[in-house]
Amino acid sequence: MLKKARIYIIICIVALFQYGNTFEHEYAWDDAIVVTQNDRVQQGLSNPSEFFRNIKSNEIQHRYGYRPISLMSYALDIELSEMTPKTGHVMNVLYYALLCCLIFYFLRRMFPEKGALFGMIIVGLFLIHPVHVEVVANIKSRDEILTMIFGVASMIFFLNFLERDKRNYLFGGLTILTLVLSFLSKENGITFAGILLLIAYFKNSDKINTYVKYSVPILGGAVLIAIRLYVYSDSVFENNATELLETFQYREDGFLGNPLHDATGLMQILPNVFNILIKNLGLLVFPITLVHDYGFSHSTMVSWSDPLVIVSVVLHIVLIYVVIREFKKKSALLFGILFYFITLSVYLHILQVGPDYMGERFLFIPSLGFLIVIVATIERIAKASFNSDAPPIWKNGTTKVIFGVLGVFFLLGFVKTINRNKAWESNTALYEADMVALDDCARTQYNYACLLHGEYYKNPTKPQQEKILYHYQRAVDISDRSMTAMLDLGKAYMEFEQVEKGKAIFEQAAEAHQGLAAPPMMLGQYYISQEQYNEALVEYEKAQKLAKLPSIYHWKAVCYMKLNKLETAIATIEEGEKQNPDQVGFFILMSDLYSAQQSYEKANVAIQKALEIDPENQEALQKRNTINSLLRPVNENPSPTEGS
């Protein structure tokens, strides 16, 4: 028993040693989506049904797919140790170790004719591959690990379904259950339905009818599609993003993450598919330059004339030939090739253009297929076999050389992974590690500027201001399609007392993003800062034609108040109240306007309405005390009849 467990113990030790230096890391990158800014996760497991709600909005916590199982795992971290990143990182490594153990067990079951060495080499390379750092070192990317854990479990249960004499249908049910759990961890779990079909083809079973054999993965796939349709139905899907677009508050330009959002048809997408395929192979073979973001213009649209695309087309024609030649042999080589392409297929933008052009996390599951191909190819090159009944493969001269090369790659990968882990220590470490490689990435430049801007207030200096402005400007120079980046650059210029440059950026934003309310609103803010209230009103009128936002009414009323047009200011606020009756700021400003008219009774009514909406609002509480002090002398002043 101990002898059988020895390999699994070694796998766990290597995983812990490989990623042990992540245990003290902070939350980083998109951990905010699932932990630090996710209200549901921070409640722990007190209300599990909350994780099965499907919500999309402009809030960071709702920029996530329908992945309730993954969300529950993050909530479990909170239950174990409140909100500390160490627990999340330790759990990631433990899940990763479990996954690698499951992969080894699956390979032994899937290819029983192969010796243990076959699976050991594959799992060893999987363990140390540097392209996996983003998944293991980033807590949010645990969804990839969980998807693969349940996906591999479904493959193991399916093998039991095909091979066992008894309890076949129990294993069939467990196959579908784990497939569903994989899909509910992350949407790419649907590809495991295709892998189950592949296993059904590979495994001839005299215990299961052929139709039944294929029916389990087909039924599983149908269940996943039904779940997808249900959770995005009108009765379940809570989509606030549509409302935000309809009110012209923002436009989420997917181009910055994936330039294929500009593609006009499949013929423009296809050369980019081949570009992505060959770049992915490059990352798997030579994972030298790793980055966390492949957005524009680090990635750009390419055409059929691109040299890499041409090379990729030729290479994949060769792979198609290999698949055809190996199809009837049902070899490990064929299984690896098809596993790779099936699990990668959802990230090739053929059926739907995704939010990111490519990403290292997208290679996490497909990399297993790639490594199976590499190890299976060793047999072909060395003309030897990993089979248990064949002569030991390591005694073959050619194999010794190949194993030597693999050993070098193993050591280099091990060191590269440990070093790459350090980049994920924090947001600062990540941006600084990748900044040279991502100098041409608009999204990274903007994110780094935001990080610097947030840290600026701890120690404000002129050099820090210049650095912040540089990265905001760099983001805008790469692409003016990010309205948020442009407006934040303009606001930074205003904050750092370069107001005319701020105005120029706001004007540029208004030109680049016509039809959206935010740019004229910011121009209005500029004019208010310059006490040019009539000019500000012109901009707010433009914004109001596009959106009935509370802040527009608020600032219009402020402008009228500064122009001593108190009645117009009150009428503006009252109009805004009708559109947005739950805005505390309206009633606070209304009380100020009535106070300016010395109508303290009306001011008191307005401030009471503010406190009904938010009883703890400190500004409203202070103003109520001020108004009451002004009302008291009036109430205490005796009438003429009382004095006679």
- The whole-number pLDDT of residue 388 equals 83
Q: How many CA atoms lie within 13 A of 340 on its CB side?
A: 23
- The whole-number pLDDT of residue 254 equals 86
Residue 70 to residues 209, 212, 344, 359: CA-CA distances in angstroms? 36, 31, 20, 19
- The whole-number pLDDT of residue 229 equals 92
Pairing of the two strands 237-239 and 54-56 = parallel
pLDDT confidence band for 88 (50 / 70 / 90): very high
> Are 195 and 343 in contact, with CB atoms under 8 Å apart?
yes
Residue 146 falls in which region: left (phi positive, over 0), alpha (psi -120 to 50) or beta: alpha
Torsion of CA 96, 101, 104, 109, to 10 degrees: -130
- The whole-number pLDDT of residue 487 equals 95
Q: Which two tokens stand for residue 308?
A: 């890499």
Q: How many CA atoms lie within 13 A of 429 on its CB side?
A: 15
Q: Alpha carbon 234 to chain centroid distance?
A: 24
> Each residue of 375-388: pLDDT tens digit?
999 999 988 889 88
Cβ within 8 Å of residue 595, ≥6 positions away = 603, 627, 630
- Tell which residue, 46, 133, 136, has the closest CA to residue 99: 136
- The whole-number pLDDT of residue 581 equals 83
- Evaluated on CA atoms 517, 520, 526, 527, the torsion sign reads negative
Residue 72 to residues 23, 38, 89, 99, 256: CA-CA distances in angstroms? 21, 12, 16, 18, 30
> Each residue of 212-225: pLDDT tens digit?
889 999 999 999 99
Token pair 């390979």: residue: 107
Cβ within 8 Å of residue 497, ≥6 positions away = none
> Are 181 and 173 in contact, with CB atoms under 8 Å apart?
no
pLDDT confidence band for 584 (50 / 70 / 90): confident
pLDDT confidence band for 245 (50 / 70 / 90): very low
pLDDT for residue 434 is more than 50: yes
pLDDT for residue 2 is more than 50: yes
Q: Which two tokens stand for residue 105?
A: 């067990």
Taken in order of first residue, the domains within the chain and their CATH numbers are 2-421 (no CATH), 582-636 (1.25.40)
- The whole-number pLDDT of residue 643 equals 42
Residue 189 to residues 131, 144, 147, 313, 398: CA-CA distances in angstroms? 19, 9, 6, 27, 39
Other C-beta atoms within 10 Å of 580: how many?
Answer: 15
How many angstroms separate the CA atoms of 272 and 102, rounded? 34
Residue 578 to residues 247, 499, 553, 571, 582: CA-CA distances in angstroms? 16, 34, 11, 11, 9
Q: Which two tokens stand for residue 634?
A: 């009036």
Burial of residue 484 (number of CB atoms within 10 Å: 0-12, 13-18, 19+): middle
- Average pLDDT of the residues in 324-338: 96
Other C-beta atoms within 10 Å of 534: how many?
Answer: 10
Average pLDDT, the chain: 91
Q: If you ran DSSP here, which 8-state letter would residue 260 be given?
A: G
- Tell which residue, 593, 555, 588, 553, has the closest CA to residue 573: 553
Other C-beta atoms within 10 Å of 9: how many?
Answer: 11
pLDDT top residue among 244 and 410: 410
Written as one letter, the residue type at 217 is: P
- Tell which residue, 240, 236, 260, has the closest CA to residue 250: 240
pLDDT for residue 248 is more than 50: no
- Using H for helix, E for strand and C for coil, what is the string for 403-464? HHHHHHHHHHHHHHHHHHHHHCCCHHHHHHHHCCCCCCCHHHHHHHHHHHHHHHCCCCCHHH
Q: Which two tokens stand for residue 617?
A: 């609002």
Torsion of CA 561, 563, 569, 572, to 10 degrees: -130
- The whole-number pLDDT of residue 587 equals 87
> Each residue of 161-213: pLDDT tens digit?
998 877 788 999 999 999 999 999 999 999 999 999 999 999 986 677 888 88
pLDDT for residue 244 is more than 50: no
Stated pTM of the model: 0.90
Residue 314 to residues 271, 273, 277, 309, 377: CA-CA distances in angstroms? 12, 13, 12, 9, 19
- Evaluated on CA atoms 142, 144, 147, 148, the torsion sign reads negative
SS3 category, 341: helix
Residue 148 to residues 165, 168, 364: CA-CA distances in angstroms? 27, 23, 9
- Average pLDDT of the residues in 470-476: 97
- Average pLDDT of the residues in 535-551: 92
Residue 383 falls in which region: left (phi positive, over 0), alpha (psi -120 to 50) or beta: left
SS3 category, 616: coil
How many angstroms separate the CA atoms of 148 and 142, rounded? 10
Q: Which residues pair with 56 in a beta bridge?
A: 239
How many angstroms separate the CA atoms of 417 and 50, rounded? 36
Peptide bond into 639 cis (omega under 30): no
pLDDT confidence band for 82 (50 / 70 / 90): confident
Residue 619 to residues 28, 191, 552, 574, 584: CA-CA distances in angstroms? 35, 54, 20, 20, 10
- The whole-number pLDDT of residue 247 equals 43
pLDDT for residue 460 is more than 80: yes
How many angstroms separate the CA atoms of 532 and 357, rounded? 45
pLDDT for residue 398 is more than 80: yes
pLDDT top residue among 205 and 411: 411
How many angstroms separate the CA atoms of 29 and 559, rounded? 40
> Each residue of 520-540: pLDDT tens digit?
999 999 999 999 999 999 999
Q: Which two tokens stand for residue 179?
A: 């497939």
How many angstroms separate the CA atoms of 591 and 600, rounded? 8
pLDDT for residue 4 is more than 80: no
pLDDT for residue 112 is more than 80: yes
Q: Which two tokens stand for residue 170?
A: 């129990």
pLDDT for residue 249 is more than 50: no
Q: Which two tokens stand for residue 338?
A: 């098809």
How many angstroms separate the CA atoms of 17 and 376, rounded? 28
Residue 550 to residues 40, 60, 577: CA-CA distances in angstroms? 27, 22, 8
pLDDT confidence band for 644 (50 / 70 / 90): very low
- The whole-number pLDDT of residue 243 equals 45
Q: Which helix (H) or strand (E) holds 55?
A: strand 54-56
- The whole-number pLDDT of residue 642 equals 42
Burial of residue 593 (number of CB atoms within 10 Å: 0-12, 13-18, 19+): buried
pLDDT confidence band for 636 (50 / 70 / 90): low
Other C-beta atoms within 10 Å of 600: how many?
Answer: 19
pLDDT confidence band for 356 (50 / 70 / 90): very high
How many angstroms separate the CA atoms of 103 and 369, rounded? 11
- Average pLDDT of the residues in 445-470: 96
pLDDT confidence band for 263 (50 / 70 / 90): very high
- The whole-number pLDDT of residue 65 equals 85
